[in-house]
Amino acid sequence: MSSKKGFAYVLAVLGALAVCASVQAQDKIKLTIAHPPVALHLLPVMVAGDEGYFAKEGLDVSNTFMAGGSAAAAAMMGGSVAAASGAVARAVLLQSKGIKVKLLDGIAGARDWAIVVDTKRHGGVNSIKQLKGLKLATPRRGSDGDQIVRAILEENNLSVGPDVQLIQINGFQNQMIALEKGDIDGAIFPEPFLTKGVQKGVIKRVLDLMQGQGPALLRQRIWTGIMVKEEFLKKHPDTAAKIVRAMTAATEAIYKDPKMAIAVANKHMPTVGKELLEKMIPNRLKARDPKAYVTKISPEAIEAENKWLEKIGQLKKKVTYDDVVATGMSKYW
C-alpha cells in the first residue's frame, strides 16, 4: 500500500470513528436531576456522573443542586427536571396528599447526624441522660435534625424545656460559634461540621446515628432517594431503569474503592479539604445499621417512615409501600 493510500485509509477510519462517536452522543438520553446542596449523602450521584456509570447506561445526566430538597421536588413537579433526590419522607408526604410520585431507589441510608457537647465544659457527658440541664442547638423548629433530637430525648425520658432546652440557631457554623462562646452546651451536627469539630477538639460525640446509635425507628428509616412523577415512570420505564442501574453500580463502586470516592468528593467539595474527607468517608463506610449508602428501599423502611411521620404529627393518611415505591425497579437494587 502506498503512503498516500495508507494516509487516506487512516483518515477514512478516523472519520468513521468520529461518525460513530457522534451517533452515540446523539443517542444518549438527556435528562436533568435536581438535588439539595452538594453534601456527602449525594456521593453516589457524584460517582455515577464522574466515573461514567450514567454514561455507560446511555444517559447524559445534568445534575442541578438547589437550595434544598423541597426546591428540587418542586422543580420535578413543575416539569423543569426529570427527577429529584431528597428525603424519603418527602416522597411519602407528597403521596399522602395525593401527589403521584414514585421512589426509584435509595441513595443515603444512615443520617450523618450526631448529638454533641462542648468538650471543655462537658467532657464527662457520655450519655443522653446526662444532657439534663443543658442547652442544645438544633436547626429550625420542625426540621429533620430538630425532630430527631426531640425523639431521642423522649426515648430517654427527658422533656424539652424542663430537662433540656432546645435553642433554634440557623446555620451550623453559627451553632459552632455559639458553642465556642459558651452560649450553648451542645448541638446536633451533620458532616462536615461534625468531624471538623471533633478534630479541632471543640466537641465530642454523645450519640452518633451513623454508627447505629439511637432509637430503632430512626435506624430503620432510609434518609434519601431519587423520585419521579408516576407519569414519567409510565412513559419512560427504560430510562428509569437506567438511572437505577447506574446508581447501584456507583454505590457498589464506593465500597469497593474508597480512594476513588474520596477523590470524587474532593472534586465536588474542595472547601471541605481532602484530609477531612479521608477521615469522613471511611468512617461513613463502616456504618452498618443501616449502611451509609443504599439503593434498596425495603417495605420495613417505608413502614418506619410512616410511623415516624405519624409520631411527629405530619402524616394523616398512611402510605403503603406499593403507593410510593417503584417496585419494578427492585430487580436493579
Which whole number is the average pLDDT over 300-304?
97
Q: Looking at the predicted structure, is the pLDDT value of residue 80 above 80? A: yes
User: Does the residue 3 lie in any domain?
Assistant: no
Sign of the dihedral through C-alpha 312, 316, 318, 322: negative
Q: In 3D, which of 23, 27, 31, 25 has the Cα closest to residue 235?
A: 31
Q: For 22-73, how does the pLDDT look when each residue is reduced to its tens digit (9 = 90+)?
A: 444 458 999 999 999 999 999 999 999 999 999 999 999 999 999 888 899 9
pLDDT reported for residue 316? 85
Do 299 and 159 share a structural domain?
A: no
User: Does the residue 265 lie in any domain?
Assistant: yes
Which whole number is the average pLDDT over 304-323?
94
Q: Which three cell numbers stand for residue 270?
A: 474542595
Cis peptide before 192 (omega within 30 of 0): yes
| Pairing label, strands 83-87, 101-106 | unpaired
Q: For 163-219, how does the pLDDT look when each residue is reduced to its tens digit (9 = 90+)?
A: 999 999 988 999 999 999 999 999 999 999 999 999 999 999 999 999 999 999 999
**Confidence bin at 107 (pLDDT 50/70/90):** very high
Domain boundary pick from 177, 211, 245: 211
Do 118 and 85 share a structural domain?
A: no
Do 165 and 103 share a structural domain?
A: no
Which CATH number is 139's domain given?
A: 3.40.190.10
Print the domain residue range for 197: 114-211
Do 232 and 89 share a structural domain?
A: yes
pLDDT reported for residue 15? 52
- Beta strands, E only, the chain: 29-35, 59-65, 83-87, 101-106, 114-118, 135-138, 165-168, 186-189, 203-208, 224-229
Q: Which three cell numbers stand for residue 212?
A: 447505629
Q: How far out from the chain centre does Cα 195 lie?
A: 17
Domain boundary pick from 162, 194, 211: 211
- Classify each residue of 52-66 as buried b or exposed e, where b means 16 or more C-beta atoms within 10 Å of its C-beta: ebbbebebebebebb
Domain boundary pick from 182, 211, 240: 211
Which whole number is the average pLDDT over 261-270?
97
Do 147 and 58 share a structural domain?
A: no
Do 164 and 92 share a structural domain?
A: no
Entry pTM: 0.87
Which whole number is the average pLDDT over 244-266?
98
List Cβ neighbours of 119 (8 Å cut-off, separation of 6 or more). 201, 202, 203, 204
Do 207 and 123 share a structural domain?
A: yes
